[in-house]
Amino acid sequence: MNLALFAFIAIVVVLLLLLAWALRGNGQHEESHSNWKTLEESGRSHVSFLPQMRQALKSEDEGFLARTGPSGLRARVNRERRRVALSYIAALRQDFEELMRVSRAIAALSPQVGVGQEFERLRLRASFLWRYRIIWLSLQTGFAPLPQLSDLSNLLSAYSVRLEEAMKEMGERAALVADMVSSPDRRRIHPI
Binding footprint of other proteins on the chain (CB under 8 A): 1-2, 4-5, 8-9, 11-12, 15-16, 18-19, 21-24, 26, 29-30, 33, 36-37, 40, 44-45, 47-48, 50-51, 101-102, 104-113, 115, 118, 153-154, 156-157, 160-161, 163-164, 167-168, 171, 192
Q: Minimal distance in Å, beta carbon 128 to other proteins?
A: 15
**Closer residue to other proteins (CB): 8 or 64:** 8
Residue 141 CB, nearest approach to other proteins (Å):
26
Shorter beta-carbon distance to other proteins: residue 17 or 90 = 17
- Closest contact distance (angstroms) between CB of 23 and other proteins is 5
SS3 letters across 18-55:
HHHHHHCCCHHHHHHHHHHHHHHHHCCCHHHHHHHHHH
The 10 Å CB-count burial string (b at 16+, else e) for 24-49 is eeeeeeeeeeeeeeebeeeeebbbeb
The CA distance from 175 to 26, in Å, is: 31
Cβ nearer to other proteins, comparing 18 with 178: 18
Give, for 63, the enclosing helix (H) or strand (E).
helix 59-68
What is the number of helices (H) and of strands (E) in the chain?
7, 0
Sign of the alpha-carbon dihedral angle for 145, 148, 152, 157: positive
Of 101 and 127, the one with the shorter C-beta distance to other proteins is: 101
| Contact status, residue 89 vs residue 132, Cβ threshold 8 Å | yes
Smallest gap from residue 40 Cβ to other proteins (A):
6
The answer to whether 131 and 154 have CB atoms below 8 angstroms apart is no
- What's the min distance (Å) between Cβ of 145 and other proteins? 16
- Closer of 37 and 187 to other proteins (Cβ): 37
Q: How far is the CB of 104 from other proteins (least distance, A)?
A: 5
Question: Nearer Cβ to other proteins, position 16 or 137?
Answer: 16
